[in-house]
Structure 1
Amino acid sequence: MTLPDRILLALGALAGLLGVAASAAAAHIAGADSLKTAAQFLLFHAPAILGLVALAATGTTHRLVTRLAAAALVLGLVLFSGDLALRALHGTPLFPMAAPTGGFALMGGWLLAAVAAFVPVRVR
């Protein structure tokens, strides 16, 4: 497994950890709907990132496209979930339009994952 794969794997696992932590925090904060949404997105996308890393590492799908898909999901989570969590916990956004930008990055990651399924893999 290459260093980029290991980094993406660690970031996917971190997304899962943060999803559990945000879920626990949201359970104790009244009116924390944004934090619950952030937690759900982290928990939904963490296994997808891990799966994409596994596909890239084993050469099942085109490595570069699959890694880009995983990286787009990570970036999207940072922007989308990060913005929602900061708003819920501190009342301030990450930056203007962070959540929508993150949402588009997430959609782009899923689109890249679909593309990776059809890009030919070179057999060495």
Structure 2
Amino acid sequence: MERAFVVLGAIFGVAGTAAAAAASHITGAGSGLDTAANFLLFHAPALIGIALLVKTGTVHANIGRFGGLLVLVGVALFSGQLALRALADASLFPMAAPAGGTTLMIGWLLVGLAALVGPRRV
């Protein structure tokens, strides 16, 4: 799972860079694509960081993984909705952005909880 977080973090970085360029050259500021780009770029290194926290045993592994998964899904939904609306005037599904944002916040809370609980001592 940690390797997947690193790979997907890298993909978020690429997608965020591409979205930032598209927002600058195609849709313009305020279209929502710039916000999608920011969320992708902010969370790209965060996913890699979550993977490292889990891999090094700094946080509770299962809670950290689940939190990372929710961060991943939340950013994908939130940014995907904003990007699709900006580029194609379409929607993933009704309330995709709020669902993604809520999922993202729950993911971050779980990452914090994983740190509070700490690694399992066997």
TM-score, length of structure 2 as denominator length: 0.94
C-alpha RMSD of matched pairs (Å): 1.2
Aligned partner of residue 116 in structure 2, secondary structure: coil
Which of 42, 45, 69 is the aligned partner of 1:44?
A: 42
Aligned residue in 2 for 1:25: 22
Contact 2:27 2:33 in 1 (8 A): no
Aligned partner of residue 61 in structure 1, secondary structure: coil
Aligned residue pair count:
121
Q: CA deviation at 1:48?
A: 1.1
Q: CA deviation at 1:120?
A: 3.4
Point out 4+ residue stretches in structure 1 off by more than 2 angstroms.
30-33
Which of 79, 82, 85 is the aligned partner of 2:80?
A: 82
Aligned residue in 1 for 2:104: 106
Q: CA deviation at 1:123?
A: 3.3
The separation in 1 between residues aligned to 2:23 and 2:111, in whole angstroms, is 30
Q: CA deviation at 1:9?
A: 1.4
The separation in 2 between residues aligned to 1:69 and 1:111, in whole angstroms, is 7
Which of 81, 92, 95 is the aligned partner of 1:94?
A: 92
Q: CA deviation at 1:23?
A: 0.2
Contact 1:80 1:99 in 2 (8 A): yes
The separation in 2 between residues aligned to 1:56 and 1:108, in whole angstroms, is 18
Aligned partner of residue 117 in structure 1, secondary structure: helix
Q: Name the amino acid aligned to 1:64.
A: N
Contact 1:83 1:98 in 2 (8 A): yes
The separation in 2 between residues aligned to 1:122 and 1:31, in whole angstroms, is 48
Which of 10, 19, 30 is the aligned partner of 1:13?
A: 10
TM-score, length of structure 1 as denominator length: 0.92
